[in-house]
A and B are shown apart, each in its own frame.
Chain A
Amino acid sequence: MLEESVLALQRSLVEAALMPDPGPLERDPAGFAAGRGLALGDQAAFARFKDRLLVYRNLVRANLAEPVEAICFVTRAHLEQAGRWEECLAAFLASRGVRSAFYRDLAASFLGWLASSGWGRERWPWMLQLVHFELLNALVAHHPGGDPPAGLHPRPGLGDRLVLDAPTQLVTYQYRVHLATVRAPEPAPGTTHLLACRDGAGLPRWMELTPATAALLLRAQQASIGQAALDLGLDDLSEAVDLLAQLQAKGAILGFATR
Chain B
Amino acid sequence: MASHGHCGPFTGVGLGLRHPHFAPLARGNPGVPFWEIAPENVLGDGGCEHDAACRVLERDPVLTHGLGLSVGGFDPFDPEYLEQLAGFLAFTGSPWHSEHLCFSSVDGSTTHELLPMPMTRAAVRHTIRRARELQDRLPVPFLLENITYYAELGEKELAEPEFLAEILDGADVGWLLDINNVYVNALNFDFDPKDWLLRVPLDRVVQMHIAGHDRVGELVIDTHGAPVIDPVIELMQWVLPRIGRPVPVLLERDNDIPGLEQLLAERAAIQEAYDAVVTLHA
A residues near B (Cβ < 8 Å) are: 1-3, 5-7, 9-11, 13-14, 17-18, 38-39, 41-42, 44-46, 48-49, 52-53, 55-56, 59-60, 63-64, 96-104, 106, 141-145, 167, 198, 201-203
The 8 closest A-B pairs by CB, nearest first: A41-B155, A202-B48, A101-B68, A96-B109, A144-B46, A49-B151, A52-B151, A42-B154
Report A-chain residues with C-beta under 8 Å of the C-beta of B120.
1, 5-6
Q: Which chain A residues border B46 with CB–CB below 8 Å?
A: 142-145, 167
Is A63 a contact of B112 with CB atoms below 8 Å? yes
CB neighbours of B118 from chain A (8 A): 5-6, 9, 42
**Whole-angstrom CA separation of A8 from B157 in the bound complex:** 16
- B45, B121, B156 — most chain A CB neighbours (10 Å): B45
CB proximity of B190 to chain A, nearest CB, Å: 13
Cβ B154 vs Cβ A144 within 8 A: no
Residues in B132-168 with C-beta less than 8 Å from chain A: 150-157
- The residue of chain B having its C-beta at the shortest distance from the C-beta of A40 within the complex is B155
Q: Which residues of A contact B68 (CB under 8 A)?
A: 101-102
B174 within 8 A of A: no
**B45–A104 CB distance below 8 A:** yes
Q: Residue on B with the closest CB to A62?
A: B113
Give the complex CA separation of A60 and B116 in angstroms: 13
| Interface SS of A by simple majority | helix
Collect the chain A residues with CB atoms within 8 Å of residue B112's CB.
Answer: 60, 63-64, 98, 103, 106
A142 and B111 within 8 A (CB): no
Cβ contacts B37-75/A at 8 Å (1 or 0 each) = 000110111111011000000000000000111001110
Q: Of A60, A99, A202, which is within 8 A of B108 by CB? A: A99
A92 to chain B, nearest CB (A): 12
Q: Mark B73-102, 1 if CB is under 8 A from A, else 0.
A: 110001001000000000000000000000
Contact across chains for A45 and B40 when beta carbons are under 8 A apart? no
A99 close to B151 (CB less than 8 A): no
| A46, B69: Cα distance in complex, Å | 26
A185 CB → nearest B CB, Å: 27
The docked-state distance in angstroms from the alpha carbon of A46 to that of B105 is 20
* Chain A, Cβ-Cβ closest to B122: A1
Binding site for A on B (CB under 8 A): 40-41, 43-48, 50-51, 67-69, 72-74, 78, 81, 103, 105-113, 115, 117-118, 120-123, 125-126, 150-157, 219, 221
Q: Give 17 A-B pairs besides A96-B109, A142-B46, A144-B44 with Cβ atoms closer than 8 angstroms.
A: A7-B74, A10-B103, A17-B113, A41-B154, A44-B155, A49-B151, A55-B151, A63-B112, A63-B113, A98-B109, A101-B40, A102-B40, A106-B112, A198-B47, A201-B48, A202-B47, A202-B51
Residues of B within 8 A of A17 (CB): 111, 113
Docked-complex contact B150 and A55, CB < 8 angstroms: yes
CB distance from B244 to the nearest CB of A (A): 35
Do B115 and A13 touch (CB < 8 A)? yes
Which residues of the partner chain A approach B69 to less than 8 Å between Cβ atoms? 101
27 A-B interface contacts by CB (under 8 A): A1-B120, A3-B126, A5-B120, A5-B122, A6-B120, A9-B153, A9-B154, A10-B72, A10-B115, A13-B153, A14-B106, A18-B109, A39-B155, A45-B155, A49-B151, A52-B150, A52-B219, A55-B219, A59-B221, A64-B111, A96-B107, A99-B109, A99-B110, A100-B110, A103-B40, A103-B41, A104-B45
| CB neighbours of B154 from chain A (8 A) | 5, 9, 38-39, 41-42, 45-46
A148 to chain B, nearest CB (A): 13
Q: Please give me the residue from chain A that is nearest to B78 by CB atom.
A: A101
A202 / chain B contacts, CB cutoff of 8 Å: 47-48, 51
- Is A101 a contact partner of B151 (Cβ separation < 8 A)? no
Chain B residues with CB below 8 A from A14, complex form? 106, 109, 111, 115
Using CB atoms, name the residue of chain B closest to A44.
B155
- On chain B, the residues within 8 Å of A198 by CB distance are 47-48
B219 to A, closest residue via Cβ: A55
Measured CA separation A111–B118 after assembly (Å): 34
